[in-house]
Amino acid sequence: MDSSARNIALVPPPDRRQSETALAIARGTARLLRSLGFSCISELPLPSGRRADLVALNERGEIWIVEIKSSVEDLRADQKWHEYRAHCDRLFFAFTQDLPCEIFPQDTGLIIADAYGAHLHCEAPEHKIAAATRKQMTVRFAMAAALRINRLVDPQGHADFWE
């Protein structure tokens, strides 16, 4: 397969950098998003080269990005979250109830989560993305989802992608 999609690395190998807290937040947040009618992909590389923690897509084609923060230090160290806004209709931060809401930017949505679920504490303002960006993100989402399923069904058939 000699396509440009292969070179994008839509399905990066697990980097194992996420803390147990971050993984728990992601799990609970994904459950919330599913209850709101979204399908989620974790660790999706964006066209900018950044990697979003969670990207959610619903049947209307809305795209939400959720950035997971497991600590105050995690938020302070993150200087890249502004770049995610160009790739979604709404941008959220998800975190545990131990973190104060006041430390997060006011123009983002807030999700409080644990390993078992989450609740939408503050809705994110909507900023519709351009049609071309929406198409690019939707295709990227679909390709990543399909490749991840294919890797589960046929791990040996995808070994050459990750070596």
Per-residue pLDDT tens digits for 26-54: 999 999 999 999 999 999 999 988 899 99
| CATH number of the domain where residue 96 is located | 3.40.1350
Q: Is residue 12 part of a domain?
A: no
State phi, psi for 22 to the nearest 5 degrees: -65, -40
Q: Is residue 11 part of a domain?
A: no
Measured between alpha carbons, how far is residue 108 from residues 85, 104, 105 in Å?
9, 8, 6
Q: Is residue 4 part of a domain?
A: no
Q: Is residue 5 part of a domain?
A: no
Across the strands, what pairs with 119? 112
Q: Is residue 29 part of a domain?
A: yes
Closest CA to 10 of 136, 157, 140, 151: 140
Residue that the structure tokens 């809401």 belong to? 101
Q: Is residue 132 part of a domain?
A: yes
Range of the domain at 91: 18-154
pLDDT digit string (tens) for 97-119? 988 888 898 899 999 999 999 99
The total number of structural domains that make up the chain? 1
pLDDT at 91: 96
Can you give the pTM of this predicted structure?
Answer: 0.85
CB 143 within 8 A of CB 125: no
Q: Is residue 13 part of a domain?
A: no
Q: Is residue 138 part of a domain?
A: yes
Measured between alpha carbons, how far is residue 2 from residues 8, 145, 161 in Å?
12, 19, 12
Fill in the amino acid letter for 99.
L
